[in-house]
A and B are shown apart, each in its own frame.
Chain A
Amino acid sequence: MRTARVFAVAWVMHLKMLSRSAFDGVLGVLWPLFFATIAFLMYGAGGDDAALLYAAVGASVMGIWSSVSTAASSAVQRERWAGTLELLVAAPVRLPVVLLPITTAMATVGLYSLVATLLWGRFLFGIDIRIEHPWLFALAVLATVLSIGMVGFLMSVTVVRYRSAWALGTAFEEPVWLVCGFLVPVAILPGWVEPVSWLLAPTWGVRAIREAALGGSPLPDVALCLGVGIGYAAIGFYFADKVLTSARRHATLSLS
């Protein structure tokens, strides 16, 4: 119960912080619109509504992924620079309970990209955005946001120990767009890519959202998305204490 409260309060506080930076705000507003424009221009020539919806969903998950992958790992580094990382570690709650709300708040901000992409497509490109299963669509989006938040959490655990690990988030940003099939089907990529994509929660997330939007059955993909996400969280929880002990041994909590 207490852990749930800590999580909820921390999530709200981090959302507040994220919503109060004008610079981040402008970038956050514009960035998903670029993704959406590229996707719609790529797929618009065919005039196939289903293909355009496929692209719209892919572009929107790109936005969620980008806001987590680059921001989650750098968020912990920012805490280090601000001198708050030490205070978070010095608190009597377990480190994952402190880190998870940070990355989940970022994934939540990424939700905006979903809404913005769909509206951009509807009003600027005239795409017929028809969601066949709205409730399942919402469930799939929620599962995707949570799972991507867990990926960010795993990255942020690494940053607690290794100061330069924040760059990992940026390094993973574009490859994941491709490997998880956000814009092009994984099937057209080399054969070895597909097994890799199965290990990545966004693959199942984007599939689930597409299935819900196009009228298929998203539940198996939702389950896989959550399963893989929980797997990341479990790995993060398992390593968090070890990583923290190592950070205390190597004195990397306060260095910038």
Chain B
Amino acid sequence: MTVIEVRGLLRSYRTRTGIRRRTSKTVEAVRGVDFSVERGELFGLLGPNGAGKTTTIKMLITLLLPTAGSARVLGYDVVEEPRQVRRRVGYVFGGERGLYERLSARDNLRYFAELYGVPPREQGARIGELVELVGLTGRERERVEGYSRGMRQRLHIARGLLHRPDVLFLDEPSIGIDPVGARELRGTVAGLVQQGTTVLLTTHYMFEADELCDRIAVIAGGKIVATGTPEELKSRVGEGSVVEVEVFGDAEPVRQRAGALPGVRSAVAEDRGQAQVLVVRSEPGAEVTQAVLGCLDGVPTGRVSTRSPTLEDAYVELVGRA
């Protein structure tokens, strides 16, 4: 059963500049997006900052009206039937905002439980269950203003789950959480999906998307540039290999020379600490390592390695092409 159905969704914003001579500009944040999510699926929406991920989610949870196109969540139209949508979906976003600082975690949850229609008799047990699930037991009576970023994020998740939503929208939920917390979060999300919750997740962390998502849509410049399982997206980069060369100094001339080599699909330079890393993706069957090393032309180099393509490689290539 299709739980989220998005057809030709478009959202534009008007921005104004100037005081005396005001000029307005229309910015298209989402430009005709189509995708669907099935019941019990964990669907990832990946894309760079400003790609339109959050705008898409906000249209689906009825916080924004689409400029054109349509979207249905659990069969309800997000424009015509917003209250039916709101009753059945949960929304969690990353960062420190979205909580009442002067209230305790328990009071925050109590307030939202009431707003989301959790029956009064169930509220106490449900709040206790969620506090335990997100690991805040013993701290739930403290004011949120004293919470760490990770604790706040866990409280956000508890809030989003209060009314047992059928569909959960997670907008960069692991941003700013330490590795242990992020791993626990991934475990929680995987558990929810096992219990039948449909999840739409946006994230910048490729390993997170690779580990969790059944299917992924890559969005860039407001358009979906690819959809598929993590394996399908990786295979788009081909069966070829990836050569990584640590370069100290200006990597740009090397990147240009490497990019022009026969058998090379793409070459990008990434900053990693003191060095830059030249990432060269090759065509299937092509052996380019020696040729790439030949392009270095005296530039100081560090470690050289060869590996299989990852989801990140696929993502970089898909977004780079868009």
Contacts and interface: CB of A to CB of B under 8 A. Distances in A.
Nearest to A97: B115
Interface in A75-97: 82-84, 86-93
Interface in A1-45: 2, 5-6, 9-10, 13, 16-17, 20-21
Contact of A92 (B83, B97, B101): B83
B98 A91 contact: no
Given A5-B114, A90-B91, A21 B102 contact: yes
B154 interface: no
A83 B95 CA distance: 10
B115 A91 contact: yes
A25 to B, nearest CB: 11
Interface string A220-252: 000000000000000000000000010011010
Nearest to A245: B65
Given A2-B117, A10-B114, A93-B115, A17 B83 contact: no
A42 to B, nearest CB: 37
A5 B115 CA distance: 10
B100 A91 contact: no
A88 B267 CA distance: 47
Nearest to A17: B102
A6 B13 contact: no
Contacts of B141: none
B86 A91 contact: yes
Interface string B56-79: 001001111100000000000000
A84 B111 CA distance: 12
B102 A90 contact: no
Interface residues of B, number: 31
A204 B63 CA distance: 39
Interface residues of A, number: 28
Contacts of A151: none
Contacts of B61: 90
Given A92-B83, A92-B86, A83 B97 contact: yes
Interface string B195-234: 0000000000000000000000000000000000000000
Contact of A13 (B86, B93, B111, B116): B111
Contact of A10 (B64, B91, B111): B111
Interface string B5-25: 000000001000000000000
Contact of B91 (A5, A84, A87, A248): A87
B63 A13 contact: no
B14 to A, nearest CB: 8
A16 B91 contact: no
B34 to A, nearest CB: 22
B103 A92 contact: no
B100 A13 contact: yes
A90 B114 CA distance: 13
Contacts of A13: 100, 103, 107, 110-111
A116 to B, nearest CB: 23
Contacts of A21: 102
Contacts of A86: 58, 63, 98
14 contacts: A2-B117, A5-B114, A16-B107, A20-B102, A83-B93, A86-B63, A87-B98, A87-B159, A90-B61, A91-B116, A92-B116, A93-B115, A248-B62, A249-B65
Return the 4 tightest CB-CB contacts between A and B, nearest first.
Answer: A83-B97, A91-B115, A83-B98, A92-B86
